[in-house]
């Protein structure tokens, strides 16, 4: 069964540094999402992306965050200047159409020191 893949599995970064989290959605999917989960808490929506533009973003997704689909297969989340509170598990998800079940990747654990 096709899967959403995310790299790296774990990223450790100094506060203030830029970080890029990478996702390869399932190949025929058109809708892409980023969520985050702070340890022990609920999964929170960050952003949705369709047709090469952001469809929706949460209040968490401020000017420090950006997303890109640089080459037709990768979907990236960039955090420009990381803060301690950005430490979390970041999940990418994709779906064929917006109303179909979202398939999640294994996540990237981001640790900000």
Nearest approach, Cβ of 42 to another protein (angstroms)? 5
Nearest approach, Cβ of 85 to another protein (angstroms)? 19
Nearer to another protein among residue 57 and residue 64 (C-beta): 57
Nearest approach, Cβ of 66 to another protein (angstroms)? 18
Q: What is the rounded distance in angstroms from the CA atom of residue 73 to the CA atom of residue 71?
A: 6
Nearer to another protein among residue 81 and residue 100 (C-beta): 100
Interface residues toward another protein, by CB under 8 A: 31, 33, 35, 41-45, 48, 55-56, 58, 91, 95, 98-99, 101-107
Burial of 37 (0-12, 13-18, 19+ CB in 10 A): middle
Nearer to another protein among residue 40 and residue 71 (C-beta): 40
Q: What is Dmax (Cα atoms) for the chain?
A: 38
Burial of 51 (0-12, 13-18, 19+ CB in 10 A): exposed
């Amino acid at each position: 069964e096709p899967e959403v893949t995310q790299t790296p599995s774990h990223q450790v970064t100094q506060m203030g540094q830029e970080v890029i989290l990478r996702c390869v959605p399932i190949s025929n999917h058109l809708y892409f999402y980023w969520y985050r989960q702070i340890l022990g808490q609920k999964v929170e929506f960050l952003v949705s992306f369709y047709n090469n533009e952001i469809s929706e973003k949460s209040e968490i997704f401020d000017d420090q965050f950006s997303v890109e689909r640089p080459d037709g297969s990768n979907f990236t989340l960039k955090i420009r200047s990381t803060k301690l509170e950005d430490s979390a598990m970041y999940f990418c998800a994709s779906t064929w159409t917006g109303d179909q079940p979202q398939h999640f990747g294994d996540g990237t654990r981001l640790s900000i020191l």
